[in-house]
A and B are shown apart, each in its own frame.
Chain A
């Protein structure tokens, strides 16, 4: 076992252990915090496929996070008001079944990423950052100006959506759902990175000309990576909305995109468990420093500066050393 896989195992166990201990001590708030870490880490795992593996610095991932959130909000809103989503040409009802909501969120996220990616990936560098940011902001203002779904105020969902056989209002059971999804996604993302696609995508990040010369199109590789990335982040968005039982345009804000990126950078860009470490540290800081001062973001800023200047591999990079090649 390498040092990195030891650290990964520890990070993986940290969440259920925390939630389990909190459950025994009857501290539901801590369980909710652990759930939040799992969901935000999931959003980061999504971004990390584009950013870490593909080198695509997207400052618009809140677009997908928000789309996932609104997929949940809109479907559940119609279910709780007993109004159909659409009557013509055929009837579509709202739903409060989590699996259906997740499926809709993933598909909507993937389609949005396909459209945004197809346009954005024609640019690179700072232009790519700007155009993804612009798409995110477009959706943000669209959500604000859409009165049918709450406009600026967002949508409140009074009862958390259901999952067959589980009581989702019980914090521990909802944590279990979020954690299992994170675990499955981490496993899949790990396999993806080591696959033929992952190798080619990583090569396209390092040297696009090389990839073209062996007869592969960097654009197509990146577009697919962006779609997978957007779909995962949208799934996280649906879960996040269910955690809060509330969705608002804030989920589309560029600050949200920034936060997801901070999870990845704090934890370690391109490291499989980087987003888990980053999201955990972020939530920890938010609650420890946030309790001391309303201006805790100053300390977060200093920390981020230190990581970027002195620990390019993030937390995992500093602890585990340089990435070991897959061979």
Chain B
């Protein structure tokens, strides 16, 4: 170990538990916020785009809810609800 590395060790010791915790908490808060914004965008953006297309007079029948299949109902233009009655209609 040379004196540059000893200096580094000394400086790492200055980064005590309280500083470590403070920065870690701030980071967790930042990433929590990013995650929340990401979820909002994921859920609402496709719906907002659909509304804008409809408002502009277009046909948004091609759009679907995020990550949903037609059988899940919600978000699909032709859907009647989240669960089809009697276990759903058999597909061919």
Q: Do A and B come from one complex?
A: no
